[in-house]
Structure 1
């Protein structure tokens, strides 16, 4: 006969966190509000800090979270400060082109150029001290009011080092490359979404959502 204790599945929650969660539940059942407990350590709040989104944490827990994910609420992901990424040193320039993009007749286009020389990885990168391979990238926006708005947001994101990072290239599979960092770009004038080009009526909305998720708006 199988012994019950041998058939138990291991918990996916670390023991200390699980014990704190159980203790939190028991305390809540005894009359204490769940708002008295930190959602990170699951224990009673110590030197509590409340963010603008109204979520409250222990000061020490919040400081640890800041080091890990930056000024973003660990619960609802609301950004409450200036996010800064690990983009290596590079240059962003742009110019106007008289040709129209598919789906945006009646206006020219904005040509954005990103230039990154090769260099050495910093502490925030996957392999500190090792070299990384630079890159040159070109992207396109319609030269209308919304396109100009997106350009300003992209420049802000670039200045906060959030458009690129160092990692493994999805196309070549090579490590230690300067790569995109999850902010949508159109790198072709044509070909539609499948080829990262136009027409794509949802693109400007989507890129603004990508930027907002990183605190850029």
Structure 2
């Protein structure tokens, strides 16, 4: 069934979001038009403002409205320790769940040659410059526990070594509160190979 052109355009617009297919996009569009027109106006305004005002921090590549984000600008953060993450959502996870007080470098992805994502697309030339100036002493590699995340961590670890900085990788393994019988084989293998002395 064909809808009004403006409604079709709205449904297609929602489909750019991750995990949103045709049915979900239709449900969202119908909801806004049927019972949340004011909410839709707020959404449109907030989206427009965010797209216009939010860019990337020149130092860490995190989303920011200024050239330098609050974390990079803070004198209370340790500039010698840099946590390398794949996405802005990872920064939020580390900030909310740990006591990490260093700074970040956001890759905005991971190495994936098959998708045409190499070191240049991840800003690794910018990271190389930060390592070259000598301020960074440790890189904490907090990339995903995937083949691509591991390859990215390995590549960056080599980069750190060439510039005299140490590189550490976050631990992977059994989640807190997890029971061994429910843990997948890869996670359990990682937990055993990464065990440490008590």
How does the TM-score come out when normalised to structure 2? Answer: 0.22
Which has a greater percent of helix?
A: 2
Which has a greater percent of strand?
A: 1
Which structure ranks higher in relative contact order (CA pairs < 8 Å, sequence separation ≥ 6)? Answer: 1
Higher-Rg member (1/2): 1
